[in-house]
Structure 1
Amino acid sequence: MPRSQERTKPRGGWGVVAVVALGGAFLLSNGLDLNGGPPQPAQAASLVSDPAHDEAARRLPPAPRPLKASPPTRIRIPALRVDTPVTRVGLDAEGWVDAPPPQDGNLAGWYGGSPAPGAQGTAVIDGHVDNEWGPAVFYTLGAVEQGRHIEVDRQDGRTAVFTVYGIEVVGKDGFPAARVYGPKGVPELRVITCGGDFSKREGYDGNVVVFARLTAVRG
């Protein structure tokens, strides 16, 4: 399996899922290029506890009424100039949540076992930070800031607009699955890619996780 692939594996249900991120193929084969690799969240912006998340989330506008389920077709993060299609991913033969094909660096994956973005619950979209040809769709994800918007187009013609309230790097050892994926009572979104410290031998040791809440609906 390509070393930049992000995967998750259910362990007793979606509420306790662990993310395992393997090292970036481009950085492994080319060395720490591109100014030291992808940007990582600033320490001051890294939210490391539930109370901190809750405090930031309380400053957001009230969440709209949850939408009915409809698969996502595209994700945009205007502040990062990310604008890419979304494909549905499921489980591979080993029971891990798959990622988009690594050769397609400009494709994000929605895990179909999670709620549709905009529906009640916590939707999950992942994507590669790089592949063997260079930076991929979420290479700059670690640079997103609180208050920025993430827009997800859906098959029903509606666009779910989420506002970022937290971003952090989570180690793959002891991944806090319940905190990352657990329901918050409103529609939420997690966007995930590889992150953390990098070594040529082991690759990335964690994930960049963006926490966002539905704050508007268009269409």
Structure 2
Amino acid sequence: MRRISNAAIGAVTVIALCSGAWLLGTDTGAEAPPQPSAAQARTGPGGEEPGAPALPPSPPDRIRIPSIRVDAPLTGLALTPSGSLDVPPATQKNLAGWYEAGTTPGERGTAVVAGHVDNSEGPAVFYDLGALQKGSRIEVARHDGSTALFAVDAVEVYDARHFPDAKVYGAADRPELRVITCGGGYSRSTGYQGNVVVFAHLTGSR
């Protein structure tokens, strides 16, 4: 498998996740997904825990986030010709994807997982991602039979026009995970205006 830097992903990484197909097609006042509060943001640089030792590379098969009832298979995602990350099929609302040319979850570096917030039928796999809180557990079952265990460090929301590529996709000295979906403001003409991003680090494995 050819590995390339996450920096190759452009600022429009998850634009295809953000049409808001369910809200756009609903006239009954459907509720927008939860958004992270300021209390879930990073408090400042430094002071990071070293985390658990890195695991050997292994493709992930499944992601579980017990506190928001996520239990979903993972499919590999590549880059589109425009440099954005491709997305899982919108018709499979409980399917998430991982950037398979980058770091595998549990390996040293920054692994990236993305999924839809909704589709035309209703809430999708990461609809409640914005409700996640610091310290929450994320489990990634891997093809080698191990499960990588992560703890959430922060949950933040960014306007798409000012998405911090380096902060989200930049290299890390410890095994880290980013989980991304749509969020921020919502417009019936353009869909969601930004992205919810979860920052997490490896705490162990089983």
Decide: shared fold, TM above 0.5. yes
Hey, what's the Cα distance between the residues in 1 that align with 2:132 and 2:45? Answer: 16
Q: Structure 1 residues 128, 44: CA separation in 2 closer, same or farther (over 3 Å shift)?
A: same
Whether the 8 Å CA contact 2:14–2:114 is kept in 1: the answer is no
5+ residue gaps, structure 1: 1-11
Whether the 8 Å CA contact 1:23–1:198 is kept in 2: the answer is no
Hey, what's the Cα distance between the residues in 1 that align with 2:20 and 2:65? Answer: 22
Q: Between 23-32 and 166-175, report the one with greater CA deviation.
A: 23-32
1:25 has 2:21 as partner: yes
Identity of paired residues, percent? 50
5+ residue gaps, structure 2: none
Aligned residues: 199
1:45 has 2:40 as partner: yes
Q: Between 131-140 and 85-94, report the one with greater CA deviation.
A: 85-94
Hey, what's the Cα distance between the residues in 2 that align with 1:194 and 1:95? Answer: 18
2:88 aligned counterpart, secondary structure: coil
Q: Structure 1 residues 80, 54: CA separation in 2 closer, same or farther (over 3 Å shift)?
A: farther
Q: Which of 89, 93, 110 is the aligned partner of 1:105?
A: 93
Tell me by how many angstroms 1:31 deviates. Answer: 4.4
Whether the 8 Å CA contact 2:139–2:150 is kept in 1: the answer is yes
Whether the 8 Å CA contact 2:108–2:172 is kept in 1: the answer is no
2:109 maps to a residue whose letter is G
| 1:61-103 Cα deviation digits (max 9, x unpaired) | x422211111000000000111010011112344431111000
Hey, what's the Cα distance between the residues in 2 that align with 1:201 and 1:146? Answer: 33
Aligned to 2:137: 149
1:173 aligned counterpart, secondary structure: helix
Hey, what's the Cα distance between the residues in 2 that align with 1:180 and 1:32? Answer: 35
2:161 aligned counterpart, secondary structure: coil
Hey, what's the Cα distance between the residues in 2 that align with 1:115 and 1:129? Answer: 23
Hey, what's the Cα distance between the residues in 2 that align with 1:53 and 1:73? Answer: 32
Hey, what's the Cα distance between the residues in 2 that align with 1:110 and 1:20? Answer: 12
1:119 has 2:112 as partner: no
Q: Which of 73, 80, 96 is the aligned partner of 1:92?
A: 80
- The TM-score with structure 2 as length reference comes to 0.90
- The TM-score with structure 1 as length reference comes to 0.85
1:105 aligned counterpart, secondary structure: coil
Hey, what's the Cα distance between the residues in 1 that align with 2:28 and 2:106? Answer: 37
Q: Structure 1 residues 54, 195: CA separation in 2 closer, same or farther (over 3 Å shift)?
A: farther
Aligned to 2:7: 15
Aligned to 1:191: 179
Hey, what's the Cα distance between the residues in 1 that align with 2:28 and 2:37? Answer: 19
Tell me by how many angstroms 1:119 deviates. Answer: 0.5
CA RMSD of aligned residues (A): 1.8
Q: Structure 1 residues 200, 135: CA separation in 2 closer, same or farther (over 3 Å shift)?
A: same
